[in-house]
A and B are shown apart, each in its own frame.
Chain A
């Protein structure tokens, strides 16, 4: 199949389980917004089956190793696994060194595991813009579990919560002060905690610190994290209210040897069943699709603005702002008015 294969051939191929067609479709979706629209339109009806799992956490905590071990445990139950491993694009060169695969060897003879590396390009929040589309393609390609590894995350990289059914936050002992190491934003989005590298000393303390934070609840945890500097996270808090009934487990894992990975898989399966049983799955799916819609509308509006209004109106308005004749809010309102008119 040549690189230039027609779009419909890629769509048909990936729906029939042709892995090269899937791989090429993911590249098209990354490279070209118009192609992304065509391909997603062609497969969307076949999506919604896979359990979408996000794996995030600080750099070097063992996310890739853990994803690989988890894929192996899913395979033991004959579930197929698609993996999307996201690494950052260099802001200087626009290039990227995608190294997650180094920790994901051992699946190459197995057609039930598909691993794809993805650079963030212009994406923010720890994912690429094309990540959500690529997840749809993996879902449509028939994988039972789709696992996304985000870039090594800090507290701002919480986009994963908007695209996954279940979020696993990976921590590791020895990242300095245990309590400080647990990033506020990540704490709010976790459905499951994995304290990896449990073969190292200090794992018990990390587990205890996490459990304490979970017991004292979101707001109190913020106070602990920020030494009394209270941070309001209202959206996240109300979300937890709506999803009461899932006790967030804190598990110890040793990804390099597979220790605790069965328990992690079981916790994921339990969460998947809980999502279904409690109605939280459709609530999350609604949120996810709403988020996708909003992202696409924003992109389209921006693109239209660039196409039709630039450079004329924009530079006029900027000039007006520089002369203090118009303020930024009124200028923005002006542009939006032009768009809808």
Chain B
């Protein structure tokens, strides 16, 4: 018997407490049939990378509303790559200006989802990416 369960880490790096978006997405992904590991608030990039490794996730989802995305995201991507997880899909949500989103995508973030994104859009994106699309 084979399962191909998709495992997703939802992490909220930074020092602020804006965790609503992360929790909404975590629940939506659970309801879509994913296994979601939620780490809670105030995670450093090191903590996120360690969790991603131990949990062997397929997707790392970061939620950042604090404005600190330009320092936090590239650091997470760099740590994931350094520990041999180049194949992890990295998603970012929260308050991210368009020009920053473009730069982060160049730095290895696969997609950025701003306020008002529907869960079904995010779910469809993950499914397509996991299917090799």
Contact = CB atoms under 8 A, between A and B. Distances in A.
Q: Do A and B come from one complex?
A: yes
A23 B54 CA distance: 5
A109 B54 CA distance: 12
Interface residues of A, number: 35
Interface string A101-126: 11001001100001111010100000
Task: Classify the secondary structure of A's interface with B.
Answer: mixed
A26 B33 contact: no
Nearest to A35: B2
Contact of A95 (B34, B50, B53): B34
Contacts of B17: none
A2 B44 contact: no
A96 B56 contact: no
Contact of B50 (A90, A93, A108): A108
Contacts of B3: 30-32, 121
B106 interface: no
Given A23-B55, A26-B56, A90 B31 contact: yes
B99 interface: no
Nearest to B52: A23
5 contacts: A23-B54, A27-B7, A27-B56, A93-B32, A93-B33
Contact of A98 (B31, B38, B46): B38
Interface stretch (B69-77, B79-87, B90-98): B79-87
Contacts of B54: 19, 23, 114-116
Nearest to B28: A95
A1 B84 contact: yes
Contacts of A108: 44, 46-47, 50-51
B4 A97 contact: no
Most buried by A among B1, B26, B37: B37
B67 interface: no
A31 B5 CA distance: 7
B127 interface: no
A24 interface: yes
Contacts of B7: 27
A113 to B, nearest CB: 9
Contact of A96 (B4, B30, B39): B30
Contact of B32 (A95, A99, A102, A116): A95
